[in-house]
């Protein structure tokens, strides 16, 4: 092992000497898995009969990454999935910052702020909102790395299969959302004369707006349409195109016409829940904006493979993440609002003793109340060294030193 690995292992060993397990519910039915500093695979098919047994394992083995199954099994330590006898699984939602648009250009702190916002949106609007779970049924955890997990453990979700879980993902992400279901045509029966015979025709003329007592995506889109109409009413055409990219190819005169129409009739639109007061071109403009721009913005962020997988391993609460040194931390919804991993997920056993490191690139770091501006060969508190080395932003020791390998305890 190199100096970086030995340093992390030494600090993790100290952490697990004092570690008190945070056990998942029905933990004897869970499979556990671990990665170690000297191995590049997950050792799994392990179970524990007591918190004491798990604690002893962690102290002696010092894993770099620790996991447990979201599933419950009759025989969790059986060597094959078939032999384990699946009994059910939590419903898991995993949000990781590497899925964010532009994540590559963000700092760690910026990524974590953005993904925290996405998690609040997912929890408040979908899990608590549309899906109706209560706060005591949704268990939120900081992953220790770049994201958050939400676990739902109600009996009615335990038996859901992969297909049903994918449907929940589709609902949250608006995948396959039918705009004609949200804003259906108002079909009006008219009479026509054909060869002297009266013929009744069902004609689609104008779009309907979901009423105020709607729920789910219909209510979400009704409220968002109000915002779009107000933006069109208040703003200039150039700004409207910037805010809603789907309108960039639309002729300016069409948007000006739409602006004039909503100025006259925006209130009556939502009183009648009907777009009949608008021209066909304006109705098409608004519906296209809702379909192409707004639905995506209203969607929740979800990692589909994680939610759909009924035999998933996920981070063990209370363990430390091998690529950051931060603690996998259970938090409440209220705590999520202001949760800052670099202040709140740093294990207490990490000290502020100076550690020599060599930065791989210049960086700024705000951690445990300290602002660090780092470059080249420098010294940082141990808690910062763990994070920087784990994130591969720095190497242990100074380049000028012949032997920087730390000694294990």
Residue 38 designated active-site = no
Residue 59 in this model has a pLDDT that exceeds 50: yes
Residue 154 in this model has a pLDDT that exceeds 60: yes
Residue 163 in this model has a pLDDT that exceeds 70: yes
- Of 4-18, 87-101, 183-197, 345-359, where does mean pLDDT reach its minimum? 183-197
The stretch 218-236 carries a mean pLDDT of 93
Residue 236 in this model has a pLDDT that exceeds 50: yes
Residue 94 designated active-site = yes
The stretch 195-207 carries a mean pLDDT of 62
Residue 234 in this model has a pLDDT that exceeds 90: no
Q: What are the domain boundaries of the chain?
A: 3-172+302-347, 209-298
Tens digits of per-residue pLDDT, 293-340? 999 999 998 999 999 999 999 999 999 999 999 999 999 999 999 999
Helices and strands (DSSP H and E) totals, the chain? 16, 17
The stretch 275-303 carries a mean pLDDT of 95
187 within 8 A of 252, measured Cβ to Cβ: no
Cα distances (angstroms) measured from residue 184 to each of 31, 99, 177, 209, 274: 48, 33, 13, 8, 10
The β-bridge partners of 314 are 68
Q: What is the pTM for the complete model shown?
A: 0.89
Q: Which of 94, 213, 234, 340 is catalytic?
A: 94
First and final C-alpha spacing in the chain: 15
Token pair for 324: 């950051």
Q: Which of 38, 180, 303, 362 is catalytic?
A: 303
The stretch 141-159 carries a mean pLDDT of 95
pLDDT-based confidence at 409, cuts 50/70/90?
Answer: very low
Query: Any idea which architecture 3-172+302-347 has in CATH?
Result: Alpha-Beta Complex (3.90)
The Cα–Cα gap between 404 and 312 comes to 39
114 within 8 A of 106, measured Cβ to Cβ: yes
Residue 372 in this model has a pLDDT that exceeds 90: yes
Q: Which of 2, 38, 77, 96 is catalytic?
A: 96
């Amino acid at each position: 092992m190199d100096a970086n690995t030995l340093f992390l292992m030494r600090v993790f060993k100290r952490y697990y000497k004092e570690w008190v397990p945070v056990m998942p519910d029905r933990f004897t039915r869970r499979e556990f898995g671990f990665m170690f500093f000297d191995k590049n695979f997950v050792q799994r098919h392990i179970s524990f009969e007591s918190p004491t047994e798990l604690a002893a394992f962690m102290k002696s083995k010092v894993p770099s990454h620790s996991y447990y199954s979201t599933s419950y099994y009759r025989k969790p330590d059986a060597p094959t999935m078939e032999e384990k006898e699946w009994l059910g699984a939590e419903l898991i939602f995993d949000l990781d910052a590497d899925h964010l648009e532009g994540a590559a250009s963000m700092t760690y702190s910026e990524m974590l702020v953005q993904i925290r916002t996405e998690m609040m949106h997912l929890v408040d609007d979908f899990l608590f909102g549309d899906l109706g779970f209560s706060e005591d049924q949704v268990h939120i955890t900081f992953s220790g790395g770049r994201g958050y997990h939400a676990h739902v453990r109600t009996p009615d979700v335990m038996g859901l299969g992969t297909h049903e879980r994918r449907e929940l993902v589709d609902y949250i992400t608006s995948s396959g959302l039918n705009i004609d279901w949200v804003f259906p045509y108002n079909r009006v029966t008219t009479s026509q004369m054909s060869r002297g015979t009266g013929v009744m025709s069902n004609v689609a003329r104008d779009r309907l707006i979901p009423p105020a007592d709607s729920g789910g995506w219909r209510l979400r889109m009704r409220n968002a349409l109000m915002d779009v109409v107000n933006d069109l009413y208040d703003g200039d055409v150039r700004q409207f195109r910037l805010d809603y990219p789907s309108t960039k190819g639309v002729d300016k005169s069409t948007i000006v016409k739409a602006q004039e129409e909503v100025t006259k009739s925006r209130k009556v639109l939502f009183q009648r829940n009907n777009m009949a007061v608008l021209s066909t071109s304006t109705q098409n403009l608004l519906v296209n904006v809702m379909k192409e721009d707004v639905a995506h913005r209203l969607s929740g962020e979800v990692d589909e493979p994680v939610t759909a997988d009924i035999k998933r391993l996920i981070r063990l609460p209370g363990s430390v993440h091998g690529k950051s040194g931060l603690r996998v931390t259970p938090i409440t919804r209220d705590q999520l609002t202001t949760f800052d991993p670099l202040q709140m997920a740093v294990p207490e056993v990490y000290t502020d003793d100076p550690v020599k490191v060599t930065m791989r690139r210049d960086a700024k770091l705000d951690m445990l109340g300290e602002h660090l501006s780092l470059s080249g060969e420098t010294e940082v508190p141990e808690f910062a060294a763990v994070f920087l080395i784990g994130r591969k932003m720095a190497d242990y020791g100074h380049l000028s030193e012949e032997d920087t390998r730390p000694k294990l305890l």
